[in-house]
Amino acid sequence: MREEVLVVRRESLFGAQQPQGYIPVQKGFSYLRACRRHSFFAPRHKVENDPTLKQIIPYCVLCWEGRILVVVRKKTQSEARLHGLASVGVGGHITPADGDPADFDRLLLAGFLRELSEEVHVRTPWRATLCGFLNDDSNSVGSVHFGFVYRVECAAAPVVAETEKMRGGLVDASTLTPPEGTRWESWSQILVEAAPLWLNAPPAMSAEPFLITRP
C-alpha cells in the first residue's frame, strides 16, 4: 500500500505571500487556519518533488535544563537529502493513521505525539508549546515542507529512541553548534539563528494545539 501524507496547497497556505524562515505563532494564525480548512492526504511519492504542495511536519525541539537535544541523521533514515546533517528538531509526516483532516487540530496532535514517541524517549511530565512555523524554499527539501515548531520542555533528559536512524546528545542552548564534522540542516540553521524568538516564547493560547501537556 502506498504511503499517504498530509499536505496543503502552497496557494491555499500562503496566498500571494511567500514567507521565508521562522514565523512566530502570533504572526502565523492564517497558516493554521489554512491548514484547518484546506489540508488533505496525498500519495507521498507524488508530492516529494512538487513545490505546489506543502507537506505538513510537526517539528519538535526538546529542551532540558538549558540544553537542547541535537541529532545527526544516519544513512538509514528515510529522507536521503538529510543524511549526515545535524538537527535541533525531530518530527515527520502526518499520515491517515493519525486521523481525519476534517479535525485538523486533533490530527496535528496525534501526529505530534506519534513522532515524539517514535523518535525519542521522553519521560513525563513534559510541556510542549507551539512557538511558530517554518518555511524555507531555498532547497529541495524545504520547498516541499512546512513546519509547525514545538518547544518541548522535558522533566528528564530526552534520548534518541531510533538509534538505528540517528544519534544524538544534549547541547547548551546558549552556544548551539552542530557536532564536529557535521552542519545544520536548513530548518535547524534557521531556528538556531532565531533562537531568541522561540526559546522562551509563551503559549499563544492555553489550549491544544498551542499548548500540550502530559503530567
Report residue 67 as a C-alpha cell.
540544553
Tell me what pLDDT residue 83 has.
Answer: 64
Give, for all 215 residues of the chain, the pLDDT tens digit.
689 999 999 999 999 999 999 999 999 999 999 999 999 999 999 999 999 999 999 999 999 999 999 999 876 556 556 567 899 999 999 999 999 999 999 999 999 999 999 989 998 899 999 999 999 999 999 999 999 999 999 999 999 998 888 899 999 999 899 988 899 999 999 999 999 999 999 999 999 999 999 98
Tell me what pLDDT residue 82 has.
Answer: 59
Domain 4-205: which CATH number of 3.90.79.10, 1.10.730.10, 3.20.20.80, 3.90.1150.10: 3.90.79.10
Tell me what pLDDT residue 25 has.
Answer: 97
DSSP 75-117: TTSS-GGGTT-EES-EE----GGG--GGGHHHHHHHHHHHHHH
DSSP classification of residue 173: G
Those residues with Cβ within 8 angstroms of residue 97's Cβ, 6 or more apart along the chain or in another chain: 114
Domain-wise residue ranges, the chain: 4-205
- Residue of 27, 79, 95, 94 whose CA lies nearest to 186: 79
